[in-house]
Structure 1
Amino acid sequence: MVYIVLGSVCIIVLIVLVAADKLATFSAMMSSFTSRTYKRLMVILSIATVAFLSYGIYYELTYQPPFLDISVDGEPYTVFGDIGELGYYSETLVYKGEQLDMNFVSWDKVDLSRAELIIEYPSGEEQTRDLKGAAIDLSTITVRGDVDPIQSVYRMEPITFIEEGGITVTVLDSDEVIGDFHLEVKRRENAQESES
């Protein structure tokens, strides 16, 4: 939106300068320009206008939000991850060392009944887990937002993350990469106090 506003401002400045050149050629403002600097300014403003508007329109058309609100059987959830590709939702936040029921959401038709996860932790350690999943009926899911339709949702076995911080989860099915996403694993405050 900012780029579209900047492009619009450039258009307004261009219109004002062209109008001043045609209607008030000998005004103080127009007299301050030489022929060469005026032409150079018009070229720069034209290029800036096209660049700002093009990028602004492209960004607005291709932008995917970092999360998506959905309802499953009337219960509200927020999907995080790579919206439009592969994401996840759960009933609780993700905490280090605590079992988590994760549900995977895909915008492609995939079979995650036997998925393999590769978890990359901030320390560089990598963990591989095999998880079984059960497909959730798509008719029970309502999406709030303007995105492509969800094609697959799976309720996975519980998982526990062993490190806090930003981690990457890659999901595979028969050694084929389905997708990946990033998530933030937090540490509970009382767990922090008990360690000190």
Structure 2
Amino acid sequence: MNEKELLIQYKATGNLAILGKLYTPYMSLLYGVCYKYLEDSDDSQDAVMQIFEELIPKLRVHEVENFKSWLYVYARNYCLMILRKSKSRVVVDIENNLLESEQKLNEVSVKEWSEQDFNKLETCMMTLNQEQEICVRLFYLQQKCYKDIADETGFELNKVKSYIQNGKRNLKICMESNGK
């Protein structure tokens, strides 16, 4: 029986043994495709098995002319979907870690500051260039968001972010060099 006949028979009966006959010859090819994208042998093996499971309902409803080509494209798209999901998780994890770190830093900083420290901060604020000082004051002291600062100052949004980052770094350097 050729692939076309096996596809027709599987679509009609839903017999997994028929699907297995179709799928088995391509498992090593699919593993190679998955490994190319996922770069991990265990993840690639899991993907090959998961793709088989997903084919069970899909092949009963889709018209497939060239099984090998269709399967290759399906495997590639499956791997790209996995990569997109994992990247978004990594970004969320990084953002959460940064947020937690910043919150901890803020908690520690607020508890340890004295009047003298605030005077040093004000002195260091005066060492910043004008754009940095304006953006840092609006962001940290008036708690405005990047967009509001950009609207209020006329600076580009990316410039606002840059001024705040650089201003914060320069303040830290100044404060550390002055004993805080």
| TM, length-normalised to structure 1 | 0.31
**Quick one: higher RCO (CA 8 Å, sep 6+), 1 or 2?**
1
Q: Which has the higher helix share?
A: 2
| TM, length-normalised to structure 2 | 0.33
Q: Which has the higher strand share?
A: 1
